[in-house]
């Protein structure tokens, strides 16, 4: 199958070919004709499958072939994404694939001055990529007209719901004309996603694909057991002794990310942190330097890293294990893209043994343990509760409303889709997060009992304004 055979115009196929793609991925094979046909679409696909081109290519095709409405330019396609990074990347794809067609695009997200965005919108935009929070700001200020939107895309809809954007999305929907094409992309199908899809989509085509790279199979993964206070020297040791030049490191909290960058700096290792407290300019700069190889280590929290797309990233380190087992799969999915082999290592201390068990249950395999000489963990070390909230050092007791994960608690009952092999096509519900991976408050209804499903954790704040 070629891009030509999918019904795309010469101008679009040329841009795709120039970008180096010759064979469409499975999601593209299914999504492109479905979107070109003009109907609604419900697609089960996660980052790494090529889903972005799956919707941007046919959108460019449809908008360029139907031509502009006479008069002022209005937003004709609106793409909503959960994070700023993802919004920026999607818009970059729109520009890349649309370089031979006459359509204009823009991206709007929070954390940066709104005025240049207002100017950009005033100039007329065909395709707008936005995070919900900042889009609402524009709607409130009447600096955007969404009344002529022909195509709406909700990208990573499950993430948007996880991040508490449902009300914002509903407000945006009210500003759109009733007659339009709706495309919903989601990695999972919780009841909440199904409700959203039911209300939004009209007789949708339904497609679902496994990850392009079945992460769990192609990425070399290992665990280095280590004491909690030896993680930083172990990481420096691994980076130096293995000559790692481009490493993405995940920490659980923003505070942890900052501290680690400082510690690595003392060891002569260049690093920067990206997380919700960093300005957008700082995040963009860190990402650019990391991508071009001038920055050796990028330290990120899960939320900030969402949607980061770095081709051929060789090393991912879980400095802290994620509290949500599914985030492990998302994290390591950053490496080994596009057929490249990647390596993911996890530095695991005694406090995290239950988290590791949860992860291994989810990915249905036991990860190999490898103790690094000189960093042997103390066999008598006792587990301590993990501080999940940013800015509060760990370990330490609970109390004072702190968010902790008790060493014995297990988040079994999670059934979120993961690799192609273990992926369930329906009825997935997100495991309770029990805490805050990016330092934002999470409201939890009732403590989950092992083996039962519970409502998705609701994140408040931290939106893409």
Among the listed residues 26, 50, 82, 435, the single contact to ligand AMP using CB under 6 A: 50
Q: How far is the CB of 104 from ligand AMP (least distance, A)?
A: 21
Among the listed residues 6, 8, 15, 24, the single contact to ligand AMP using CB under 6 A: 24
Options 48-56, 165-173, 231-239, 430-438: segment touching ligand AMP (CB under 6 A): 48-56
Among the listed residues 32, 41, 44, 49, the single contact to ligand AMP using CB under 6 A: 49
309 binds ligand AMP (CB under 6 A): yes
Options 19-27, 166-174, 183-191, 246-254: segment touching ligand AMP (CB under 6 A): 19-27
Options 51-59, 75-83, 190-198, 202-210: segment touching ligand AMP (CB under 6 A): 51-59
311 binds ligand AMP (CB under 6 A): yes
Residue closer to ligand AMP (CB basis): 271 or 307: 307
Residue closer to ligand AMP (CB basis): 292 or 311: 311
* HEC per residue, the chain: CCCHHHCCCHHHHHHHHHCCCCCCCHHHHHHHHHHHCCCCEEEECCCCCCHHHHHHHHHHHHHHHHCCCCCCCCCCEEEECCCHHHHHHHHHHHHHHCCCCCCCEEEECCCCCCHHHHHHHHCCCCEEEECHHHHHHHHHCCCCCCCCCCEEEECCHHHHHHCCCHHHHHHHHHCCCCCCEEEEEECCCCHHHHHHHHHHCCCCEEEECCCCCCHHHHCEEEEEECCHHHHHHHHHHHHHHHCCCCEEEECCCHHHHHHHHHHHHHCCCCEEEECCCCCHHHHHHHHHHHHCCCCCEEEECHHHHCCCCCCCECEEEECCCCCCHHHHHHHHCCECHHHCCCEEEEEECHHHHHHHHHHHHHHCCCCCECCCCCCCCCCCCCCCCEECCCCCCCCCCCCCCCCEECCCCCCCCCCCCCCCCCCCCCCCCCCCCCCCCCCCCEECCCCCCCCCCCCCCEECCCCCC
d(CA 341, CA 337) in angstroms, rounded, equals 8
Q: How far is the CB of 69 from ligand AMP (least distance, A)?
A: 29
Residue closer to ligand AMP (CB basis): 48 or 164: 48
214 binds ligand AMP (CB under 6 A): no
Separation of CA 320 from chain center: 18
Residue closer to ligand AMP (CB basis): 185 or 319: 185
Residue closer to ligand AMP (CB basis): 50 or 448: 50
Residue closer to ligand AMP (CB basis): 43 or 53: 53
Among the listed residues 53, 184, 264, 347, the single contact to ligand AMP using CB under 6 A: 53
Residue closer to ligand AMP (CB basis): 3 or 165: 3
Among the listed residues 8, 13, 15, 25, the single contact to ligand AMP using CB under 6 A: 25
Among the listed residues 338, 371, 381, 445, the single contact to ligand AMP using CB under 6 A: 338
d(CA 277, CA 307) in angstroms, rounded, equals 18
Instruction: Establish how many alpha carbons lie within 13 A of residue 350's alpha carbon, considering only the half-sphere containing its beta carbon.
Output: 13
Tokens 């009300």: give the residue: 167
One symbol per residue from 405 to 424: x for binding ligand AMP (CB under 6 A), - otherwise; what is it? --------------------
Q: How far is the CB of 323 from ligand AMP (least distance, A)?
A: 24
Q: How far is the CB of 23 from ligand AMP (least distance, A)?
A: 6
Residue closer to ligand AMP (CB basis): 232 or 337: 337
Give the Cα-Cα-Cα angle 275, 330, 294 (nearest 5 degrees). Answer: 50
Q: How far is the CB of 48 from ligand AMP (least distance, A)?
A: 5
Among the listed residues 30, 34, 52, 103, the single contact to ligand AMP using CB under 6 A: 52
Options 33-41, 45-53, 411-419, 420-428: segment touching ligand AMP (CB under 6 A): 45-53
1 binds ligand AMP (CB under 6 A): no
Q: What are the residues binding ligand AMP (CB under 6 A)?
A: 21, 23-25, 28, 47-53, 309, 311, 337-338
């Amino acid at each position: 199958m070629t891009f030509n055979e999918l019904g795309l115009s010469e101008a679009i196929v040329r841009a795709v070919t120039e970008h180096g793609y010759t064979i469409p991925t499975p999601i593209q094979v299914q999504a492109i004709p479905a979107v070109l046909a003009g109907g609604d679409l419900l697609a089960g696909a996660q980052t790494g499958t090529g889903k972005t081109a799956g919707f941007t290519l046919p959108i460019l095709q449809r908008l360029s072939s139907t031509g502009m409405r006479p008069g002022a330019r209005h937003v004709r396609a609106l793409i909503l994404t959960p994070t700023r990074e993802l919004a920026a990347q999607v818009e970059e794809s729109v520009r890349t694939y649309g370089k031979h067609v006459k359509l204009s695009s823009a991206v709007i997200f929070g954390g940066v001055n709104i005025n240049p965005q207002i100017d950009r919108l005033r100039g007329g935009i065909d395709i707008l990529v936005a995070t919900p929070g900042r889009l609402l700001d524009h709607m409130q200020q009447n600096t955007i007209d969404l009344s002529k939107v022909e195509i709406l895309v909700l990208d990573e809809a499950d993430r948007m719901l996880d991040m508490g954007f449902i009300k914002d999305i509903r407000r945006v929907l009210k500003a759109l004309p009733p007659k339009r094409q709706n495309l919903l992309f989601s990695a999972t199908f919780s009841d909440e996603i199904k409700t959203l899809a039911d209300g939004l989509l009209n007789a949708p085509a339904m497609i679902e694909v496994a990850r392009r790279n079945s992460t769990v199979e192609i990425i070399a993964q290992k665990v280095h057991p280590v004491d909690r206070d030896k993680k930083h020297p172990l990481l420096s040791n691994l980076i130096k002794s293995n000559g790692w030049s481009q490493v993405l490191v995940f920490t659980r909290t923003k505070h942890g990310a900052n501290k680690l960058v400082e510690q690595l700096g003392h060891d002569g290792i260049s690093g920067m942190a990206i997380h919700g407290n960093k300005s957008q300019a700082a995040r963009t700069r860190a990402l650019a330097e990391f991508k071009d190889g001038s920055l050796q280590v990028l330290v990120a929290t899960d939320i900030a890293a969402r949607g980061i797309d770095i081709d051929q990233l060789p090393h991912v380190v879980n400095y802290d294990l994620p509290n949500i087992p599914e985030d492990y799969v998302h994290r390591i999915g950053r490496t080994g893209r596009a057929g490249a082999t990647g390596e993911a290592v996890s530095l695991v201390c005694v406090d995290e043994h239950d988290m590791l068990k949860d992860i291994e249950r989810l990915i249905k395999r036991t990860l190999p343990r490898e103790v690094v000489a000189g960093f042997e963990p103390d066999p008598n070390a006792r587990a301590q509760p993990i501080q999940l909230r940013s800015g509060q050092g760990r370990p330490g007791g609970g109390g004072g409303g702190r968010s902790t994960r008790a060493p014995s608690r297990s988040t079994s009952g999670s059934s979120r889709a993961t690799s192609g092999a273990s992926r369930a096509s329906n009825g997935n519900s997100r495991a309770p997060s029990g805490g805050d991976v990016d330092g934002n408050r999470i409201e939890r209804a009732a403590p989950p009992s092992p083996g039962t499903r519970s409502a998705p954790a609701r994140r408040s704040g931290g939106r893409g304004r």
